[in-house]
């Protein structure tokens, strides 16, 4: 998958730069999301990895995507097809969305808690992280009873482990050393 990530970066950057320049970030997000779903379709995925010509692949993908793509989006797909890169569309979409979130100063934060968080708790976490990271926060909350109590917060490279399990592990490590 890292191979596709490397392939996808320049295409995502080009699409992102074009979208910013033309004030079409949301439109390009939707187009690339749709293209990623199409590329993940089992039958289309088989086609993308087969030896079908670039022109034929571009025609098929554009026909499937239909009115979801404007002329610039169709040209983007043609360029990717000519370079044999259509199979990287899901990775292009992920890289594009990362660039978009950075541009909009937004960060996805994963919050894992031992019990379901109340709305107030979520708001408090969101507010404090927004102050600390100086970004808009998008919380993705989940529950893991194995934590015993507390929360684990992941925002990019930042990890805050304030769970009882994490504290017990750190205490155990300290006693062992």
For the chain, which residues make up each domain, given as ranges? 2-102, 105-176
Range 155-161 average pLDDT: 84
Of the candidates 66, 67, 45, the one whose C-alpha atom is nearest the C-alpha of residue 57 is 45
- Over residues 127-143, the pLDDT tens digits come to 998 888 888 888 889 99
Give the confidence band of 1 by pLDDT, cuts at 50, 70, 90: very low
Are 86 and 39 within 8 A, CB to CB? yes
Q: Kindly report the length of the chain.
A: 177
Q: Which of 61-65, 71-75, 87-91, 118-122 has the highest mean pLDDT?
A: 118-122
pLDDT tops 70 at residue 54:
no
Range 6-28 average pLDDT: 89
Buried b (16+ CB within 10 A) or exposed e, 99-131: bbbeeeeebebebbbbeebeeeebeebbeebee
Q: Would you state the pLDDT for residue 50?
A: 66
Range 17-43 average pLDDT: 87
pLDDT tops 70 at residue 2:
no
Give the max Cα distance, the chain.
65
Are 80 and 111 within 8 A, CB to CB? no
Q: Which of 82-86, 102-106, 108-112, 134-138 has the highest mean pLDDT?
A: 108-112
* Mean pLDDT, rounded, of the chain: 84
Question: What predicted TM-score, i.e. pTM, was given to this entire model?
Answer: 0.65
Range 83-109 average pLDDT: 85
Are 94 and 123 within 8 A, CB to CB? no
Query: What whole-number distance in Å separates Cα of residue 123 and Cα of residue 6?
Result: 36
Sort residue 61 into left (φ over 0), alpha (ψ -120 to 50) or beta. alpha
As a whole-number percent, the residues of the chain with pLDDT over 90 amount to 16
Q: Which CATH number fits domain 2-102: 3.30.1360.200, 3.30.70.1060, 3.40.50.80, 1.10.520.20?
A: 1.10.520.20
Q: Would you state the pLDDT for residue 44?
A: 74
| Sign of the torsion angle spanned by Cα atoms 85, 90, 93, 98 | negative
pLDDT, greater one: 159 or 84: 159
Give the confidence band of 64 by pLDDT, cuts at 50, 70, 90: confident
Q: Would you state the pLDDT for residue 80?
A: 84
């Amino acid at each position: 998958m890292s191979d596709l990530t490397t392939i996808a970066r320049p295409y995502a950057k080009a699409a992102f730069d074009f979208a910013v320049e033309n004030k079409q970030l949301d439109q390009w997000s939707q187009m690339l999301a749709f293209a990623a779903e199409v590329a993940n379709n089992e039958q289309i995925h088989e086609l993308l990895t087969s030896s079908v010509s670039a022109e034929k692949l571009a025609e098929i993908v554009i026909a499937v995507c239909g009115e979801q793509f404007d002329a610039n989006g169709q040209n983007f797909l043609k360029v990717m097809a000519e370079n044999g890169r259509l199979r990287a569309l899901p990775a292009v979409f992920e890289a594009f969305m990362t660039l978009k979130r950075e541009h909009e100063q937004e960060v996805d934060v994963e919050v894992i808690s031992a019990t379901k968080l109340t709305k107030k708790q979520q708001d408090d976490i969101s507010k404090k992280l927004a102050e600390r990271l100086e970004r808009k926060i998008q919380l993705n909350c989940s529950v893991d009873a194995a934590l015993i109590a507390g929360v684990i917060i992941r925002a990019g490279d930042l990890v805050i482990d304030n769970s009882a399990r994490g504290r017990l592990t750190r205490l155990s490590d300290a006693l062992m050393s």
